[in-house]
Amino acid sequence: GAGVSQTPSNKVTEKGKYVELRCDPISGHTALYWYRQSLGQGPEFLIYFQGTGAADDSGLPNDRFFAVRPEGSVSTLKIQRTERGDSAVYLCASSLGQGLAGGFEQFFGPGTRLTVL
C-alpha cells in the first residue's frame, strides 16, 4: 500500500513569507506526527495529532508554527513570517496510534526540504 506522502518535496521561500507543507498519512493511521531535521542532526519532534486534535504540540518552537488536521487524515504545517533558521527538512510520520504496542510504530514520509533565503 501507499506510504506517507509529503508535498512539496522542496520549497524555497524568502524570509518573511508564509509557507504550507502538506502530509498525507498511511490510510487508516489515526496518529500523525511532524518532525524537523536539521543537517547532521536527528529529527526533532514538533507536534502530534490523534485524529483531528493536536494531542501534543509542545515541540512547536514558537507561535509562527501551526498545524491542522481538519478531517483526521491530511495535515498541513503552516509557518508564518519564515526566518532563515527555519530552513530544515520537515518530516511527517504516521502510526496506527492504538491497539497493540506495535501499533505505535511510526512510518516516515520522504520529507519537505524548506530553504528560507
Partner 1 sequence: ELKVEQNPLFLSMQEGKNYTIYCNYSTTSDRLYWYRQDPGKSLESLFVLLSNGAVKQEGRLMASLDTKARLSTLHITAAVHDLSATYFCAGASGGGADGLTFGKGTHLIIQP
Q: 18 or 74, CB closer to partner 1?
A: 74
- Residues in the site for partner 1, rule: CB under 8 A? 30-31, 33, 35, 40-48, 50, 55-56, 59, 91, 93, 95, 97-98, 101-111
Nearer to partner 1, 27 or 41 (CB): 41
Beta-carbon contacts of residue 67 (< 8 Å; ≥ 6 apart): 34, 46, 47, 49, 54, 57, 60, 75, 76, 77, 78
CB of 7 to partner 1, least distance (A): 14
Closest CB to partner 1 among residues 4, 81: 4
**In the complex with partner 1, which residue's Cβ is closer, 81 or 98?**
98
- Smallest distance, partner 1 to C-beta of residue 77, A: 14
Q: Are 76 and 7 in contact (CB under 8 A)?
A: no
Task: Please tell me the distance from the alpha carbon of residue 98 to that of residue 21, in angstroms, as a whole number.
Answer: 26
Give the distance from CA 73 to its chain's centroid. 13
